[in-house]
Structure 1
Amino acid sequence: MKNVMRAGVIGAAAALALAACGQAPDEGGSTTAGGKSDFKGCVVSDSGGFNDKSFNESAYNGLLDAQKELGIQTAQAESKADDQYATNISNLQSQNCNIIVTVGFKLATATGDAAQKSPDTKFAIVDSPATDAKGKALDLDNVKSIQFDTAQAAFLAGYLAAGMTKTGVVGTFGGLQIPTVTVFMDGFADGVAKYNEVKGKSVKVEGWNKETQKGLFDGGDHPFDAGSGKSNADTLIDSKNADIILPVAGGAGVDALTAAKDAGDVSVIWVDSDGTLTNPDATSLIMTSVMKEISTAVDSVVTDTANGSFDNTPYVGTLENKGVGLAPYHDFASKIPQDLQDEVTQLQQDIISGKIVVQSDGSPKSGS
């Protein structure tokens, strides 16, 4: 995918900053930029919606970037519940979309079904391959998966958190126990373990045990919605004494911000997008973010498709191709010791070179 590497963290962050100022898209709405193209790119959110300040919003911003750059038409469907995915995809198909981007593993089966029925329509799915009804991954000529090995960037965040904790305890919780969530938690735990190995320390991770694959998850009917993570955030801070938290829970990450603010001496490491840009009122709480460059990847896939160069080779974002990474430290830049910052930078190079291999069962297979 030739365009994915053209924008780094700074460029993606700037795009997110601008997009965060816009209004939420109307469900099923359509826009065009000057009528320069009859190509139509479309996107379907999962039940978290396009204002989740996380992966849905980033994917939508990527489509908007392509629309601004190419003058293509766009349409979007915001899902309010899980039973709307197939209908929303079908509605966009009826609007003659050339490519439909579906966001999240929850849309995997609906994407697979639609792609098999409509081989002339191109699809891209974020954070999952398309699957059949039994959850088996499908290799379809008209579907490209966009996935991210976030364990690599989360490893850096874990090392950083271990170096910054004052209580000797850091914590994490997830929305659901699924690979795209636990891959963050595995990397985070390994990063803490690496710090302990290098420094002879014993920083503890609460909320996730990589060996047993057990930890704290929101569960419930809306596990990634704001409010569903409150109990876990409170538990990590009040009961476990964690002073740095990594919430891997979509919109429920705001519960960690609220709990951190109430505690007064707790910091948060955001995920997916640069949290200081999507949560500008919480910049003093967010140490950094484990970023997936979803908007850049979606922009590239849509652009490639519009230019006639779509292919179904999975895209896997890594530290090497800048598909994942740590966001700038922003307000924490002066608080994090320079030697710790330098160690994190070196660890990133060691992962890229292969000197350090970060492993997680949730990591996607290699792609483009």
Structure 2
Amino acid sequence: MKILYGVQGTGNGHIARARAMSQALRRYDVSVDFLFSGRNKHKYFSMEEFGDYQTRRGFTFLTHEGKVDYLKTGMNNSVPTFLSEINQLDLSDYEVVVNDFEPISAWAAKKQNVPCVSISHQNAFRFSVPQKNANWLDRQLIKNFAPSDFQLGLHWYHFDQPILPPIVHISSDLVDNLAYVIVYLPFENQHAIVSLLTRFHNHQFVCYHPNNVEQVQIDNIIMKPLCHQTFQADLHRCDGVIANGGFELPSEALTLGKKLLVKPLEGQFEQQSNAATLESLGLAKSMDFLDASIVREWLDLKQAEKVTYPCVASGIAEWLVAGNWHCSEKLQQSLWERVDFPSYASV
């Protein structure tokens, strides 16, 4: 089986899931090529896992100081380029397209009648799961941004819906809590983050940000450039995580038993929904802006307990290679049966 795996490159969470799926698929007699879109090629990092991967411009959103900038987003995206990239992508060598909310490969598969299997957190919003501030356009984007024939949705809890637990790409046997907090708020102003964290002189922070070009120390903060390997090492050793409202990093933090504080991107319903869901499940705290009072309260909280998730990537890989994509009920049941939540979770 030859697979083209399309990955939305705007956020690192999609890439983390693809990294886990790449390793899981290696156990089978399949050939996988990767295509990423939504980010300039030179801004990808730690991509050795994906071999000779392809990139496309695709569609993405732009932000400014923690908010989606709709004007800049509209001006930055080119419909003619998007259509051209779809028309130029030849899928004749592939038996199936696997897709994580990546529009070029999805639309090319639709046009060329190649089966498309979608694996993403966004697919969970096709069902009755908690949503916050979702409008008609948001719902249309979820359904039509990257169309597919078969969908697997991922979420932290099943909500009695036909979805799966998260794909978590970590090695949980390396956990060693040290007295620092890892901070990853890529959509926030770098100086605003520093201004917030330096208020808490008795706490140590390790802050990753796209604008960090080298490692430097500012008072109680170590600023580090983006790197998958060093980020994972720091994530395993920290005792807490402050992150945006994405899906993959909170999933990793929950699996490692790190207490979690999330600040969702304003104007992005998925992140707003994620933050509200984590709070309602009792798995994290959230803040609507860089709120020092909430950070102070959160820092005083005791250490979290782990959420135990099975190896979802392995289960999906086996299901995918078997080829019976119409039926995923057994996969759903077998995976959720192995999930264990902390005693304080509201599930």
The verdict on a shared fold, with TM-score over 0.5 as the criterion, is: no
- Pick the TM interval, shorter chain: 0.3 to 0.5
TM-score by structure 2 length?
0.42
Name the structure with the higher helix share: 1
